[in-house]
Structure 1
Amino acid sequence: MQEILDCLAAAAAVSHDHGEPDKYVLPHLPYQVAADTLDRIRSDMPPPRRGAVFLMVLPAFELEALWEVLGVLRRARDADDAAAEVYDLVRDYAMRCFLPPRGIDEVVADLERILAVLLLDLPAVRMVATTLLLDGECDDAFRSARDELFAAWRAAGLSGIPGRGASS
C-alpha cells in the first residue's frame, strides 16, 4: 500500500508542476503523508509475538490524510471520471508489481482494513491502551480485553491476528 501511495504522491507532484493540479484529485501532500504514515507504522512495529499488542498514537493530520486518500481510491474504484488517472495508476501498479496481481478493489479493502485497526474504538481498546500507557499489570481483565480486541480485528477480516495461527 505504501508503494502505491508513494507513486500517487510523485504523480500528483509532477502533474501539479505541469499545470494540472487536479489530475490526481488531491495534491501530492496528502498522498505523501499517508505513505509516510504507513512507512512509520511498519518500521516502528516490533517483530510479531503471539498475544502481544503494539500501541501507537498517530497525529490527527495523518489519519485525515489516510481518510482523504481512501476517499479518492473509492472514487477511482467506483469509476468517477475525476479519479480516472488514479484508477489507471493504481490498477497498473497493483497488477504489475504485486504477486499475485491485485485489483483496485483489493487495494481499497487493504486501506480500509488499515484504518479499521487504527480507529477501532471499543472499551477493550481503551482498557488495553490505558494498561499499556500506565505500565499496569497485565492481569485477567487485561487479557480478556486483549482477546476481545483480537476478536474484533478477526471480525473485521484482518489477517495476522492471534487465534488464526499468526501473531499480532
Structure 2
Amino acid sequence: MLFDGKAIQSQPAEKIVSLGVVQSPEGRQVFAQMSVLENLMMGAYSRRRSFSNSELDAVFELFPRLYERRTQLAGLMSGGEQQMLAIGRALMTRPRLLLLDEPSMGLAPLVVKAIFSVLKKLNQTGLSILLVEQNAKAAMRLSDYTYVLVNGQLYREGRSIDLLEDAEINEAFLGRHVNNNEGACLV
C-alpha cells in the first residue's frame, strides 16, 4: 500500500497514523469503560503535544449528541452513538485519509443518513475517505468513485454516478437479487 508515494504496509500503526492515515473499524470498537470525552482524547493521544480544544469542538459540532453525552460511559451508548464516537475519535488524529469499515452496520436508517451526511461534509472539506460498505446505494450516492469487489476480486470500477446508472450493476448489486452476489462490497 502506497501513501504519498511511499510504501506503508510494513510501518508500525503509530507511524501510519502520524502520516495521516487512520481507521474507524467495523463494529465501532469504542473503549466501553471510558467516557465519551476520554474516548475522543484517546484519538488525540498520538499528537497530545499539538492538541487544541478547537478540534474537540469540531467533533462536537459534527456530532452534537457526543457533546450531550460527553461524561457518559461509551459502553452505555446506543449503536449509532458509538459509531459517531468511533468516527469522532478517528477525526481527533487529524487524518488526511479516513478509512471506514462498514459504518452503517446494524444502524437504523435515520442514523445511517445522519452519519453519511457528516461523511459528505468531511469529504467536501478536503478529507479523503476510503469507505468499505455493504449498503451499496448509500455508499455510491456518497462517494465520487466506486470499486465493486466480489469475493475479494475487483469486478468493476468507475465514477459512482455512472455505476449507479449501469444496468448490470443495478441488477446484480443494487436490485432485489443481491443475495446472488454474497461477498460483494462497494467502496
Greater percentage in helix: 1
> Higher Cα Rg: structure 1 or 2?
1
State the TM-score, normalized to the length of structure 2.
0.28
Between structures 1 and 2, the one with greater strand share: 2
